[in-house]
Amino acid sequence: MILVADSGSSKTDWMGYLNGETLKFNTPGINPYFLSEEDISKLIAKNETMMLYADQVKEIYFFGAGCSSPDKHEVVSNGLSAVFTNAFISVDHDLLGSVYATCGNAEGLNCILGTGSNICYFDGKKIHDGHHGLGYVLGDEGSGTFFGKKVLLAYLYNKMPAALAAEFKKTFPAEKEQIITNVYQKPFPNIYLAGFSRFMADHKDHPFIQNILKTGFQEFVDTNVKDYPKHKNVPCHFVGSIAYYYQEALVEVLQANGIEPGKILQKPIDDLFNFILQKEGIVRQAI
């Protein structure tokens, strides 16, 4: 069995191929900056359906947030090895998985706009690293965490239109003290902050929300996309829920900056899975 995983900070999408059958699984996010080897093993073991196939897994291709260095690769690999004892395991950054899903073997820019954000240039053969992917404290422009923080601050600072603020309070009744506790004292503050970005989905046509979206996407373009000299010469692909659900505003900002929008995928897992199978010489049956 071949198992392919695309993991963000919030959740991991898995697809498996066994005797011509395609299988799908989901687990919470696996990020080695937040989880130890033991944490990862326990997290996988909780998925009873996956565990039914654990002994049959021979190859795992894992692409995850936070997997940008050899020591972090090892954390994930060791955590998975404890569960999938018969498997060869390859661990890479989620950017590479996203590149495979969007660019394939062609040149292009590839961006992630999910809970966090990142970008890279792919020349058709290898990724060229930039100065990005600084995480939610220093960066993550245009991400769910970024927009969640913007919406939350507008509400807390009383900068949100009154009618919109009333709707926000209904959706998120937490008081200031509770919010501060969740951000500064509890685990995964990035995921907590990103949760507030969901408010934009039901109000994305409101001028106030439109301004937040377009300003945030412009900041992502200015800080990240324009850092690459060829940003106007190659397609700019996107992966992630923020890019997918707010693609109308995103495309408008891209086109205003002379940038060609490429693929915009909510999740890369299907395209990534097909790419890996093709590399392995396997023709996947349509499902």
Please write the tens of the pLDDT for every residue from 213-223: 999 999 999 99
| pLDDT for residue 286 | 41
Domain 2-99+268-279: assigned CATH number: 3.30.420.40
Q: Report the alpha-carbon distance of residue 143 to residue 151 in Å, rounded.
A: 12
| pLDDT for residue 287 | 38
Fold (topology level) of 106-265: Nucleotidyltransferase; domain 5 (3.30.420)
Amino acid type, 189: P
Q: Which long-range contacts (CB under 8 A, 24 or more apart) does 158-167 make?
A: 160/208, 161/206, 161/208, 164/203, 164/206, 164/208, 164/209, 167/199, 167/202, 167/203
User: Residue 158 contacts by C-beta under 8 Å, 6 or more apart in sequence?
Assistant: 165
pLDDT tens string 133-163: 666 666 588 899 999 999 999 999 999 999 9
Maximum Cα interatomic distance, the chain, rounded to a whole number of Å: 58
Q: Which residue do the tokens 């926000």 mark?
A: 168
Collapsing DSSP states into helix, strand and coil, what is residue 5? strand
Spans of the chain below 70 pLDDT? 130-139, 283-287
Question: From residue 272, how far is each of 26, 66, 206, 247, 268 by CA, in Å?
Answer: 15, 18, 35, 21, 6
Question: From residue 28, how far is each of 168, 175, 191 by CA, in Å?
Answer: 27, 27, 12
Q: Please, what is the average pLDDT of the chain?
A: 90
pLDDT tens string 182-211: 888 887 788 889 889 999 999 999 999 999
Q: List the domain boundaries for the chain.
A: 2-99+268-279, 106-265
The total number of residues shown for the chain amounts to 287
| pLDDT for residue 121 | 93
Domains 2-99+268-279 and 106-265 share a fold: yes
